[in-house]
Homo-oligomer: A and B are copies of this chain.
Amino acid sequence: MSGASLPDATRGVSRRGLLGLAGAGLAGLGLGVAGDRATIAATGGTGTASASSYPFYAGHQAGIVTPAQDRLHFASFDLTPGTSRAELIELLRDWTLAAAAMTAGRDIGEFGAVDGPYGAPPEDTGEAQGLDPAGLTITFGFGPTLFETADGTDRFGLAAQRPAELVHLPHFPGDMLKEGQSGGDLCIQACANDPQVAVHAVRNLSRIAFGRAAIRWSQLGFGRTSSTSTSQATPRNLFGFKDGTANIKAEEPAAVNDQVWVQPGDGPAWLAGGSYLVTRRIRMTIETWDRTILREQEAIIGRSKGEGAPLSGGSEFTEPDFTKTGEDAAPLIDRAAHVRLAHPTRNGGHRLLRRGYNFVDGNDELGRLDAGLFFISFQRSPEQFSAVQLSLARNDALNEYTRHVGSALFAVPPGAREGAYIGQALFT
């Protein structure tokens, strides 16, 4: 960021979110432009896995091709009934300023200096004081319901701007979706290498939204399950297998442009340079999986468990050979293997940029861990996800050990330039 002059958007910004919280009107968003820490790249948060801060203002939103951070706090919001278009815009302005501050490692406002005859609550909740930015990225998205007319009314005057593809995902075979873990008008994906920093971000953005939007559902993820940069080692999911070996990486600019970023002409202009975000809360029946013999586990995945090499031979990054057969003339990579069904050659060339996280949310009454994968993918079109998921939902041998219980789709606008707010082109 440039330093001396305040960006345009900070003038006249709504303070309603904070005012609504305080007894008296003394609070204000802290707009001082503090000294930046190390920033990495001009656009979209590409960089190294160990970077400590990514600029918020960029051509693309950060948190997509950014090297996947270790920890996640994701929250889906619904607009509070009665919230107006102007209030929605105010909220996005406020969120933008707060996100820019927090991703630079700053508090969202005064920490403790606010005082006076009536006093005021601190603007920032404080639990990230003294912590590094920890590579925090905050990524915003708009759900299909934001564009829907309720009771025949176009809530926010956005129906004409709705991308044709921003519709609810189809029902896939085996889906056991729960309403309370699916959907939402808005979303925030906060990723960081320190979970306290990610939690702090969602908590403060939720607080700012008070009276305008409230959390519909949320999810913590403790461990990344994908690499989005060749600088990162491939992590393991809770099946114990390496995950995301063939993921789209930031170092493949042609693939990123072709498969991840919405291109001009794909739909309404406001979304060019953005993407579509899919979340799926996938509960894994890990206790059952753990009783499956190793060869069966490997046959189901189509890769070795240790090295992650395709069963057709080679090492982790060897391209799988689906035609190769063994002594019994059967293919070395099973017909129902996950790696085969998810492969671009089986799905019209579609690839996804995956960015999911392992989760454990306590246990059920039988003492089984409520564990699994919080799947996140970014793609140029929701159709890419649907094609792959349909292929998997119909035939994947892994389905015996997974249950899709949450699902959501969001349109992710491009990044905001300094002085603008996130999604601004949608409203102008």
Task: Tell me the minimal C-beta distance from A224 to chain B in angstroms.
Answer: 9
1/0 per residue A17-61: CB within 8 Å of B?
000011100000000000000000000000000000000000000
1/0 per residue A267-291: CB within 8 Å of B?
0000000000000000000110011
Task: Tell me the minimal C-beta distance from A402 to chain B in angstroms.
Answer: 15
> Which 4 A-B pairs rank lowest in CB-CB distance, beginning with the nearest?
A126-B240, A214-B367, A119-B293, A215-B367
Check if A115 is an interface residue, CB within 8 A of chain B.
yes
Check if A120 is an interface residue, CB within 8 A of chain B.
yes
User: What size tier do the contact residues of chain A reach?
Assistant: 35 or more
Considering only residues 338-363 of chain A, those with a C-beta below 8 Å from chain B are: 358, 360-363
Task: Tell me the minimal C-beta distance from A167 to chain B in angstroms.
Answer: 25
Check if A195 is an interface residue, CB within 8 A of chain B.
yes
Query: Given the complex of chains A and B, what is the CA–CA distance between A235 and B369 in angstroms?
Result: 29
Check if A16 is an interface residue, CB within 8 A of chain B.
no
Query: Given the complex of chains A and B, what is the CA–CA distance between A112 and B236 in angstroms?
Result: 15
> Across the interface, which residues of B come within 8 angstroms of A210, CB to CB?
287
Check if A106 is an interface residue, CB within 8 A of chain B.
no
Considering only residues 365-385 of chain A, those with a C-beta below 8 Å from chain B are: 365-369, 371
> Across the interface, which residues of B come within 8 angstroms of A297, CB to CB?
121-122
Check if A263 is an interface residue, CB within 8 A of chain B.
no
Query: Given the complex of chains A and B, what is the CA–CA distance between A367 and B207 in angstroms?
Result: 11
Asked if B206 and A367 sit within 8 Å, CB to CB, the answer is yes
Number of copies: 2
Residue in B121, B240, B287 whose CB lies within 8 Å of A129: B240
Check if A170 is an interface residue, CB within 8 A of chain B.
no
Residue in B21, B115, B180 whose CB lies within 8 Å of A290: B21
Query: Given the complex of chains A and B, what is the CA–CA distance between A48 and B206 in angstroms?
Result: 37
Asked if A127 and B23 sit within 8 Å, CB to CB, the answer is no
Check if A294 is an interface residue, CB within 8 A of chain B.
yes
Asked if A294 and B207 sit within 8 Å, CB to CB, the answer is no
Query: Given the complex of chains A and B, what is the CA–CA distance between A180 and B362 in angstroms?
Result: 11
Query: Given the complex of chains A and B, what is the CA–CA distance between A115 and B299 in angstroms?
Result: 14
Tell me whether A127 and B196 are in contact in the complex, defined as CB-CB below 8 angstroms, given that A217-B363, A218-B369, A360-B73 are known contacts: no
Tell me whether A126 and B236 are in contact in the complex, defined as CB-CB below 8 angstroms, given that A203-B286, A369-B203 are known contacts: yes
Query: Given the complex of chains A and B, what is the CA–CA distance between A66 and B113 in angstroms?
Result: 37
> Across the interface, which residues of B come within 8 angstroms of A366, CB to CB?
214
Query: Given the complex of chains A and B, what is the CA–CA distance between A125 and B371 in angstroms?
Result: 13
Check if A222 is an interface residue, CB within 8 A of chain B.
yes
Asked if A236 and B206 sit within 8 Å, CB to CB, the answer is no
Which residue of B is nearest A295, CB measured? B119
Asked if B207 and A296 sit within 8 Å, CB to CB, the answer is no
Asked if B358 and A361 sit within 8 Å, CB to CB, the answer is no
> Across the interface, which residues of B come within 8 angstroms of A368, CB to CB?
215
Asked if B112 and A294 sit within 8 Å, CB to CB, the answer is yes
> Across the interface, which residues of B come within 8 angstroms of A237, CB to CB?
127
10 contacts between A and B (CB under 8 A): A22-B293, A112-B304, A121-B293, A122-B240, A126-B236, A126-B240, A129-B240, A199-B358, A215-B368, A218-B360
Check if A65 is an interface residue, CB within 8 A of chain B.
no
Tell me whether A125 and B290 are in contact in the complex, defined as CB-CB below 8 angstroms, given that A223-B195, A305-B111 are known contacts: yes
Asked if A127 and B207 sit within 8 Å, CB to CB, the answer is no
Asked if A362 and B217 sit within 8 Å, CB to CB, the answer is yes
Check if A241 is an interface residue, CB within 8 A of chain B.
yes
Asked if A362 and B361 sit within 8 Å, CB to CB, the answer is yes
> Across the interface, which residues of B come within 8 angstroms of A292, CB to CB?
121
Check if A306 is an interface residue, CB within 8 A of chain B.
yes
Check if A9 is an interface residue, CB within 8 A of chain B.
no
> Across the interface, which residues of B come within 8 angstroms of A230, CB to CB?
none
Check if A14 is an interface residue, CB within 8 A of chain B.
no
Check if A238 is an interface residue, CB within 8 A of chain B.
yes
> Across the interface, which residues of B come within 8 angstroms of A216, CB to CB?
367
Asked if A294 and B115 sit within 8 Å, CB to CB, the answer is yes
Tell me whether A207 and B362 are in contact in the complex, defined as CB-CB below 8 angstroms, given that A236-B130, A305-B126 are known contacts: no
Task: Tell me the minimal C-beta distance from A341 to chain B in angstroms.
Answer: 22
> Across the interface, which residues of B come within 8 angstroms of A361, CB to CB?
220, 361-362
